[in-house]
Chains A and B, each alone.
Chain A
Amino acid sequence: MANTVIGSTIVIDGEITGDEDLVIQGTVKGRVSLRENILVEESGVLEANVETATITIHGTVTGDVHATERAELKSNCRVVGDIRAPRVLIADGASFKGSVDMDA
């Protein structure tokens, strides 16, 4: 199955929904609602509320994140917003501002 890649020069202003993995190298503003994995690469900018199974962030996320499985913030990422996930990993070097709720 082809994976969806939002390239680095792409800007999406709106809503993304689907049942696939998503790799974000560009900019997404709005809402993302998936049932699979999201990978926000270093160049990726996500200004959206996100609902997904798992999310791995290397880039910038501004918005609330709701992961039903796991949320990972790698080093050098910047996250501003609330995270709701049963498992949360924040690596050394990550920059995070917001609240974490692991009860969901």
Chain B
Amino acid sequence: MARTQSQVVGGTGSTVIGPEIRVLGRVTGEEDLHVQGRIDGAIALTETLYVAAGGIVAAEVDALNVVVSGVIVGNVTARDCVTLHAGAKLVGDITAPRLIIADGAAFKGSVHMVGDGEEASAARWAARARPAPPRRVAAPERVPVPPRRATPAHVDPPRSPKPAASSPTSADDETTIIVRHRALADGEDAGEDTSPKPEAADVARFRGVAATRAPARGAEAPAAAKGKLPARARIPKPGKRRVNRR
């Protein structure tokens, strides 16, 4: 009778929802699920969800992998990979470390790739942004640094899950300025202390660390983490900085 069907489809541990079946509710499981019929509701699997060509899933999906040849309407979260084959249709948001959209698939929604790829790409972007030829600003070297939004290379990864989203694409407002910090010019510009941001020495005092010991780097992370200093107080890394003058 139908008892042997499970072996035919995908070996042991594979569930098939046939083309004439409709499930309305919540499906959870620890094995692969092949949907040839229709599931409305929610799906939570530890393994792979396959939506066959005639299958329809109108549900929030959470699985290890999601392989779509049919239709999914709902948000999809995968711990490994989401694959849309030709003929697939997905309307909803995808959260997965890997995504493959083949030619002929149709997708509408947002994509959020989680995992270390994101911080790596943000760091890569920041590194790429710096070597661009700077426009020397005529202003003196000590330009008051306006409150600056966190730039990707700056912020600890856990605090900014989406550095990509925080930088708008208005390149016209960007200016490159050269900032010479006390940490670099050890005593050279002692008189030019008009910058609004607290000096490294102040921060160092605050932290109880000797001022001459390259406090910029050391103080930066704890200061940022503590949040006691105003946003402006964030000591920039020595070197050329790209400042978003907004």
User: A3 to B29, alpha carbons, bound, how many Å?
Assistant: 19
> Which residues of the partner chain A approach B37 to less than 8 Å between Cβ atoms?
4, 18
> Which residues of the partner chain A approach B102 to less than 8 Å between Cβ atoms?
none
> Which residues of the partner chain A approach B30 to less than 8 Å between Cβ atoms?
9
User: A13 to B14, alpha carbons, bound, how many Å?
Assistant: 18
> Which residues of the partner chain B approach A10 to less than 8 Å between Cβ atoms?
15, 27-29, 31, 33
- Asked whether, in the complex, the Cβ of B2 is within 8 Å of the Cβ of A18, the reply is no
Stretch in B18-26, B149-157, B199-207, B233-241 with 4+ CB within 8 Å of A: B18-26
Check B5 for interface membership: any CB of A closer than 8 A.
yes
User: A65 to B7, alpha carbons, bound, how many Å?
Assistant: 28
User: Given that A39-B1, A39-B3 are contacting pairs, would A9 and B25 also be in contact in the complex, using a CB cutoff of 8 Å?
Assistant: no
- Asked whether, in the complex, the Cβ of A30 is within 8 Å of the Cβ of B25, the reply is yes
- Asked whether, in the complex, the Cβ of A25 is within 8 Å of the Cβ of B6, the reply is yes
> Which residues of the partner chain B approach A101 to less than 8 Å between Cβ atoms?
none
> Which residues of the partner chain A approach B1 to less than 8 Å between Cβ atoms?
21, 37, 39
User: A8 to B24, alpha carbons, bound, how many Å?
Assistant: 19
Q: Nearest Cβ distance between residue B36 and chain A, in whole angstroms?
A: 6
User: A4 to B30, alpha carbons, bound, how many Å?
Assistant: 17
- Asked whether, in the complex, the Cβ of A13 is within 8 Å of the Cβ of B2, the reply is no
> Which residues of the partner chain A approach B5 to less than 8 Å between Cβ atoms?
2-3, 5, 23
- Asked whether, in the complex, the Cβ of B23 is within 8 Å of the Cβ of A12, the reply is yes
Q: Render A1-44 as a binary contact track against B, CB cut-off 8 A, 1 for contact.
A: 11111111111111111111111011000100000010101000
User: A5 to B35, alpha carbons, bound, how many Å?
Assistant: 11
User: A30-67: which residues lie under 8 A (CB-CB) from chain B?
Assistant: 30, 37, 39, 41
Check B17 for interface membership: any CB of A closer than 8 A.
yes
User: A9 to B46, alpha carbons, bound, how many Å?
Assistant: 10
> Which residues of the partner chain B approach A20 to less than 8 Å between Cβ atoms?
18-21
> Which residues of the partner chain B approach A13 to less than 8 Å between Cβ atoms?
25-28
29 A-B residue pairs with Cβ-Cβ distance under 8 Å, sorted by A, are: A3-B5, A5-B2, A5-B14, A6-B15, A7-B29, A7-B33, A10-B31, A11-B28, A12-B26, A12-B27, A12-B28, A13-B25, A13-B28, A15-B23, A16-B21, A16-B23, A16-B25, A17-B24, A18-B21, A20-B18, A20-B21, A21-B18, A23-B2, A25-B6, A26-B29, A37-B1, A37-B2, A39-B1, A39-B2
List A residues at the B interface (Cβ < 8 Å): 1-23, 25-26, 30, 37, 39, 41
